[in-house]
C-alpha cells in the first residue's frame, strides 16, 4: 500500500497580494461588495461607498436647501433631507457604521454589514463594510492578513518505501521531507486559508482522516501530515 504525505506550509506567492488576485478567492466582484479600512491600506472602491463619501464632503459647504437642490436629480429629496439631518447630529464617531447607514438610506434594498477583522499579530486589525452575505468574514480576514497555506499531497509507492527501508538510509518519520523530495510524486495540491485548513483538520475529529476525506483517498490510507509553520 502506498504511503501518502500531506505537506503544509505558508504560501510564498506574494504575487497574489501584489496584483490583488487574492480578492478573487474571497468573492466575486470584490471591489463592489467589500470595503476594508485598515491601519495601513484601504480597499474602498465600491460605488455605494464612494457616493456616500462624495455627498458627505459637500455638506459642510452647503446649507440644507442648496445641498438638496444640487443632488435631487440623483437621489430622492426626502432621503437628502434625512441625510443632512443625520450628518448635523453626527458626532464624528463610528465613521464606518455611519457611512454604512447613509448608504442604506440612499440605496433602498442595500443591506450592509459592519464588522472588524483581526490577524495573528498585534495591530493586525481593520474595519470592514460589506454587502451582507457576500463574503465569509473569516475567509476575508485570512486573505487580507495573509494567513494562507499551500497544501501538497505526495504519494510514495510501495516499491520506493521498500527501497528506502532496505537501504536504511532514511528514517521515514525523521527524514520525511527529504524522502518526498527524492521519491514522492506530487499528485494534488491546493491553496487554502487558515480557516479552511482548520476545518479540514477537524473533519472527523482527526487531521489525518480529515485529509483522507479532503483528497478523496481510500479510507485505510497510510497518511502522514507535515506542518511547516
Closest among 177, 182, 224, 214 to 4, alpha carbons compared: 224
More confident residue, 39 or 89: 89
* Joined grid coordinates for residue 204: 472527523
Q: How confident is the model at residue 2 (pLDDT cuts 50, 70, 90)?
A: confident
Q: How confident is the model at residue 171 (pLDDT cuts 50, 70, 90)?
A: confident
How confident is the model at residue 4, as a pLDDT? 92
Q: Give pLDDT tens digits for 202-213.
A: 877 789 999 999
Q: Give pLDDT tens digits for 70-81.
A: 999 999 999 999
Strand order, beta sheet including 112-118: 42-43, 34-38, 125-131, 112-118
Residue 63 pLDDT > 90: yes
Indicate the SS3 state at residue 42. strand
Query: Which range, 11-15, 133-137, 220-224, has the best average confidence (pLDDT)?
Result: 133-137
Domain ranges, ordered by start, for the chain: 3-13+148-227, 23-144
- Give the E-state strand segments of the chain in sequence order: 3-10, 34-38, 42-43, 112-118, 125-131, 148-156, 185-193, 222-227
Q: What is the DSSP letter of 115?
A: E
Q: How confident is the model at residue 164 (pLDDT cuts 50, 70, 90)?
A: confident
- Sort strands 185-193 and 125-131 into parallel, antiparallel or unpaired: unpaired
* Joined grid coordinates for residue 153: 499531497
DSSP per-residue codes, 53-85? HHHHHHGGGS-HHHHHHHHTTTS-HHHHHHHHH
CA dist 31 → 42, 47, 89, 111 (Å): 11, 9, 30, 16
Q: What percent of the chain has pLDDT over 70?
A: 100
Amino acid at each position: 500500500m502506498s504511503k501518502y504525505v500531506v505537506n503544509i506550509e505558508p504560501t510564498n506567492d506574494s504575487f497574489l497580494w501584489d496584483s490583488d488576485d487574492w480578492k478573487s478567492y474571497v468573492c466575486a466582484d470584490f471591489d463592489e461588495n467589500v470595503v476594508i479600512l485598515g491601519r495601513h491600506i484601504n480597499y474602498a472602491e465600491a460605488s455605494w461607498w464612494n457616493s456616500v463619501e462624495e455627498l458627505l464632503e459637500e455638506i459642510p459647504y452647503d446649507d440644507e436647501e442648496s445641498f438638496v437642490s444640487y443632488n435631487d436629480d440623483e437621489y430622492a429629496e426626502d432621503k437628502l433631507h434625512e441625510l443632512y439631518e443625520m450628518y448635523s447630529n453626527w458626532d464624528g464617531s463610528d465613521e464606518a457604521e455611519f457611512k454604512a447607514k447613509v448608504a442604506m438610506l440612499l440605496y433602498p434594498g442595500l443591506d450592509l454589514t459592519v464588522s472588524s477583522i483581526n490577524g495573528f499579530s498585534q495591530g493586525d486589525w481593520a474595519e470592514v463594510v460589506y454587502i451582507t452575505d457576500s463574503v465569509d468574514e473569516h475567509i476575508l480576514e485570512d486573505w487580507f492578513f495573509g494567513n494562507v497555506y499551500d497544501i501538497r499531497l505526495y504519494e510514495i509507492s510501495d516499491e520506493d518505501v521498500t527501497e528506502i527501508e532496505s537501504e536504511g538510509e532514511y528514517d521515514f518519520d525523521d527524514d520525511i521531507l527529504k524522502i518526498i523530495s527524492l521519491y514522492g510524486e506530487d499528485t494534488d495540491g491546493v491553496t487554502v486559508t487558515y480557516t479552511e485548513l482548520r476545518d479540514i483538520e477537524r473533519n472527523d475529529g482527526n487531521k489525518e482522516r480529515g485529509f483522507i476525506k479532503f483528497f478523496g483517498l481510500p479510507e485505510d490510507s497510510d497518511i502522514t501530515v507535515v506542518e511547516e509553520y
